[in-house]
Structure 1
């Protein structure tokens, strides 16, 4: 039988998308993934068709939260019809698409859900700010609420 794993990292990654960064009080709600493609961890979720549904980012739809990492999901994301944990308040790790600074406002690109600090043509996440800085596209802490 071939080896399952033949190399090992000396350390695990510091952060991973969708990781709840600290033990501060947070608000996490559950919705059902509506889209066939599902929702990735650390990605923007917006209101779906029904009150209890969520879809990945789409134009002109209300922001619902950021998908929280769930290590029990076998495909590395929330599949269609899965219960999705969405952070509405707290600190979560996400992928910043550009260099960001602590305190910058947070926007997402409606068509893609990409997170940025640029207002141009993007949707503001009310009450959100970057909690860490990056020098370019990288993982960063996002504070909601």
Structure 2
């Protein structure tokens, strides 16, 4: 029999973007991707044109519906993202790993960038919108992995 693997890493990576961190109060929805370029894992998702539609980011805080959950069964050719027209899992409440768009500290408020869906703790402004009921549970530098807790409170439209 041929050897499939003959070397092993001493450690495994603790997480990847879009991985649900634990199942405490976890809740998710299924939506349909409307963004032409698709939606990557661990990014802010907004309300699409359809009732169950999903787009990357949102034009206002009121459009936020959750964070995209990693799907390990998607075709690797899709580049770690949900393609347009696919069903997307969106975490609406609970803890999820994301790649940060700036340094974050545990307890900080969470904001998302309207066009990219990247989450950070930068001050809210015309292109960065606060996520109601969300906070950072762990700290990380820019581009690091950290856990966001969503409280399940969606903003009013």
With structure 1 as the length reference, what TM-score do the two structures score? Answer: 0.89
Residue in 2 that maps onto 1:62: 63
Is this contact kept in 1: 2:124–2:130, CA < 8 A?
A: no
Moved more, 111-120 or 63-72: 111-120
Is this contact kept in 1: 2:100–2:141, CA < 8 A?
A: no
CA RMSD of aligned residues (A): 1.9
Q: Number of aligned residue pairs: give it.
A: 142
User: Structure 2: any 5+ residue segments left out of the alignment?
Assistant: 152-157
Is this contact kept in 1: 2:113–2:119, CA < 8 A?
A: yes
Deviations 1:69-107 (A, max 9, x none): 110111221111111000010000001111111110000
Q: Counterparts of 2:44 and 2:24 in 1: how far apart (Å)? A: 21
Shift of 1:8: 5.4
Q: Counterparts of 2:35 and 2:7 in 1: how far apart (Å)? A: 36
- Following superposition, which runs of at least 4 residues in structure 1 exceed 3 angstroms of deviation? 4-10
Residue in 1 that maps onto 2:29: 29
With structure 2 as the length reference, what TM-score do the two structures score? Answer: 0.83
Residue in 2 that maps onto 1:143: 149
Moved more, 54-63 or 105-114: 54-63
Q: Counterparts of 1:5 and 1:36 in 2: how far apart (Å)? A: 38
